[in-house]
Amino acid sequence: MAFIECRQLTRSYKKGNTPITPLEDLDLDIEEGTFTALMGPSGSGKTTLLNLIAGIDTPTSGSLMVAGIDLAKLSRSQLAHWRADTIGYIFQLYNLIPVLTAYENIELPLLLHSLSAKERYMKVAAALELVGLADRHDHFPNQLSGGQEQRVAIARAIVSDPKIIVADEPTGDLDRVAAAEILSLLRMINREVGRTLVMVTHDPKSTEYAQRTLHLDKGKLLEREPVADHPSALRS
Positive or negative, the Cα torsion across 103, 108, 110, 115? positive
228: pLDDT strictly greater than 80: no
Does residue 234 form part of some domain? no
- Residues 162-220 have pLDDT tens digits of 999 999 999 998 999 999 999 999 999 999 999 999 999 999 999 999 999 999 998 88
CATH code for position 117: 3.40.50.300
Domain that residue 158 falls in:
4-226
Is residue 128 situated within a structural domain? yes
Residues 6+ apart with CB under 8 A from 139: 101, 102, 148
Classify residue 30: in a domain, yes or no. Answer: yes
**230 pLDDT more than 50:** no
For residue 210, give the nearest of 151, 219, 221, 224 by alpha carbon: 224
Q: What is the pLDDT of residues 1-18, one digit of tens each?
A: 799 999 999 999 888 888
Predicted structure pTM score: 0.90
| Any domain includes 208 | yes
Residue 53 within a domain: yes
pLDDT of the residue at 222: 82
Q: Report the alpha-carbon distance of residue 55 to residue 44 in Å, rounded.
A: 19
Q: Check residue 93 and report its DSSP letter.
A: T
* pLDDT score, position 231: 41
Q: Average pLDDT, whole number, for the chain?
A: 91
Quick check: is 235 in a domain? no
Q: Do the domain assignments include residue 19?
A: yes
Whether the pLDDT of residue 33 is over 70: the answer is yes
Q: How many domains does the chain have?
A: 1
Backbone angle region of 88, left / alpha / beta, with phi > 0 → left and psi within -120 to 50 → alpha:
beta
Residue pair 55/82 in contact by the 8 Å Cβ criterion:
yes
On whether residue 233 sits in a domain, the answer given is: no
